[in-house]
Amino acid sequence: MEQWQWTIIANWGGMVISRLIDIVLRTKNNNDNNKIKTSRFIYVGKPIFKGEIKNRQEKYESSKDQVIFKAQYSGKIEYGYFAAEIIPPKNSSFPKDTFHLDDASGNTTSFCETTIKANIENDWNIHNIPSNLGKIHGRNVKTDWFEWKWKIPEYAPKGDYRIIIGL
């Protein structure tokens, strides 16, 4: 088997999958048993989203490495979930049998399954997943950090990738 490495370039902004409203509550909670908290007290401000690649490295090796994403959110949201959109290098594409592939854009999605109510179908991506499946829901939501992994497909194209982590 041929071995090669490729690089991921992270986009530290965020993509918006669900509608975001500008009411936020900032709280500190380290209880891992309940990662999503709501409160009746309101902090008026902008929503706070944080997302990153936890195991960031210069190069990753296909079929061996996994990319670990992590994200956190505070604010008002309806049926939100965390996901990462993986954009392949220019002039390349993922194999057609890649899970969560969007045929129109050529991008694939890595979902944080913990934040989704149902089993995720292999042909779903951020553009066609039903809009009411997210578990992050409420007026004053404050999540702990959520982590999820994306196994790099064996035949992923070689090159620089863009990652958009979002809610």
Alpha carbons 102 and 126: distance in angstroms, whole number: 8
pLDDT tens, residue by residue, 63-112: 788 999 999 998 888 899 999 999 999 999 999 999 999 999 999 999 99
**Contacting residues for 69 by C-beta, under 8 A, at least 6 apart:** 51, 52, 53, 54, 82, 84, 110, 112, 147, 148, 149, 150, 163, 165
- The terminus-to-terminus CA distance of the chain in angstroms comes to 37
Alpha carbons 114 and 36: distance in angstroms, whole number: 11
Of the pLDDT bands very low, low, confident and very high (cuts 50, 70, 90), residue 57 is confident
Q: What percent of the chain has pLDDT over 90?
A: 47
Per-residue pLDDT, averaged over 118-127, amounts to 91
Which of 63, 78, 92 minimizes the C-alpha distance to 157?
92
Q: What per-residue string of b and e applies to 115-129 under the rule 16 or more CB within 10 Å gives b? A: bbeeebeeebbbeeb
- Asked whether residue 25 carries a pLDDT value surpassing 60, the answer given is no
- Asked whether residue 142 carries a pLDDT value surpassing 80, the answer given is yes
pTM to 2 decimal places: 0.73
* More confident position, 12 or 62: 62
- Biggest CA-to-CA distance, the chain: 57
